[in-house]
Amino acid sequence: MQNDSPSQQRKRPQGLAHDIVTALTQHILLGQMVPGEKLPSESTLVAEYGVSRTVVREAISKLQAAGLVETRHGVGSFVLERDERRGLHLAHDTAVSVRGILELRLGLETQAAALAAMRRTDQQLLQMRQALDDYQDSLANNDSSVEPDVRFHRLIAQATGNTYFTDAIYHLGHSVIPRTRINAQERGDVDLMKLGQMANLEHEAILKAIRRQDPDAARAAMWLHLSNSLERMTGE
């Protein structure tokens, strides 16, 4: 029996369902589809992805299992509210909590960056580039850069192709941005604008490594970024 060609393997239903799950998960976790929003109809997804209804139903079932959507019989499927208070979440905005979460991220996101370098798509790369452009624009306009910062880290997790990374980073919420977690008294005279600019230089190094598809360099760049964040925010 002949082995399937790569193109034939990609056309298997399991792989096609995965493609739909990945695309819709990204839309939901990046806020492009909001809680309560109705997913495209079954027939729309069939036409958009060129798959059977069975494949679409499998994909929706996986999204339900992940707690991302609910299906109402005879009505359709809807995006569920995601409670960031559940799962991994910092209870106190203190230097101690920031240190703890950064130590966790050193293990989690360094590996995510390496996997993203190996698995990212051109589209995901463009989205990361846009996130950093938006970050720089926010700094230039003296606006909050938290949203594009969070988006950049979530996109890296998404590019791993492993939903466990995506879900973990999502549950951390804005806790992935340490400068938002330390209260004013503990922060003292720290210049948050300067910290944001330094962090973005490190973001650019991470993106360059992911663009080159160099997992070792991506891992090292993320390690440096998070280590520097730990030192900047906690003095360690």
Range with the poorest average pLDDT among 154-158, 164-168, 170-174: 170-174
The whole-number pLDDT of residue 234 equals 61
Q: What is the pLDDT of residue 1?
A: 40
**Residue 30: enclosing H or E segment and its boundaries?**
none
pLDDT tens, position by position, 49-63: 999 999 999 888 888
Token representation of residue 138 = 């926010």
Do residues 137 and 117 lie in contact, with contact meaning Cβ atoms separated by under 8 Å?
Answer: no
Poorest-pLDDT segment among 14-28, 65-79, 87-101, 181-195:
181-195
User: Could you tell me which residues are beta bridge partners of residue 77?
Assistant: 71
* Top-confidence range, 89-103, 134-148, 190-204: 134-148
Higher pLDDT, 230 or 40: 40
Between 164 and 191, residue with greater pLDDT? 164
pLDDT at 121: 93
Could you read off the pLDDT of 65-117 as tens digits, one per residue? 777 888 888 888 998 876 544 444 444 444 456 677 788 888 899 999 999 99
Beta-carbon neighbour count of residue 57 at 10 Å? 14
Fold observed for domain 95-234: Four Helix Bundle (Hemerythrin (Met), subunit A) (1.20.120)
Q: Which fold has domain 6-79?
A: Arc Repressor Mutant, subunit A (1.10.10)
What is the reported pLDDT for 167? Answer: 83
Tell me: pLDDT of 188 over 50.
Answer: no
Q: What is the pLDDT of residue 115?
A: 97
Nearest partner of 217 among 227, 207, 228, judged by Cα: 207
Average pLDDT score, the chain: 79
Q: Are 153 and 169 in contact, with CB atoms under 8 Å apart?
A: yes
Domain ranges (residues) in the chain: 6-79, 95-234
How much of the chain exceeds pLDDT 70, in percent? 76
